[in-house]
Amino acid sequence: MPSFEGNITVVLQPNDKDVSYRYSYPIKTSVTDASEYLPYGTTISGVTVTAWTSAGVNATTDMITGTSVSTNYIDVMLQYPSSNGVGDYTLRFILTLSNSSTMETDFDRIIARDL
């Protein structure tokens, strides 16, 4: 399974800007390996990351300020979603792999709070 910063909950507060989080997608070590996420022999060649409120409203431009990919890691820069405000959010990752296939994962532990 993907490793999302040790499976922590991400809390964003007002004035948080360009906060970096790294998401790791382990690669299988053999064709028969069932313990990891990415297929054997593949890497991540591209990614689309979107952000969604718990009500299903697209908050991507309000929350995500940048993304980058390196082999099996995705770095996402987040900011407090000032337009959508306090609430629970989900990041949706659509991975394009080196073999041209795609995979999708969700990370639903982002909370925007005014603490």
Q: Using alpha carbons, list the distances in angstroms from residue 52 to 64, 76, 99.
A: 11, 15, 28
Indicate which CATH number applies to the domain containing 65.
2.60.40.1220
Comparing 8 with 111, the larger pLDDT belongs to 111
Q: pLDDT class for 7, splitting at 50, 70, 90?
A: low
Q: Which H helix or E strand runs over 91? A: strand 87-97
pLDDT digits (tens, 9 = 90+) for 10-33: 999 999 999 999 888 888 888 888
Q: What is the pLDDT of residues 72-96, one digit of tens each?
A: 899 999 999 999 999 999 999 999 9
For the chain, the domain total comes to: 1
What are 66's two structure tokens?
Answer: 């940048």
CA-based nearest residue to 38, from 23, 21, 20 = 23
pLDDT digits (tens, 9 = 90+) for 29-63: 888 887 778 888 899 999 999 999 999 999 999 99
Residue 1 predicted with pLDDT over 50: no
Domain of 104 in residue numbering reads as: 3-112
State the pLDDT confidence band at 5, using cuts at 50, 70 and 90: low
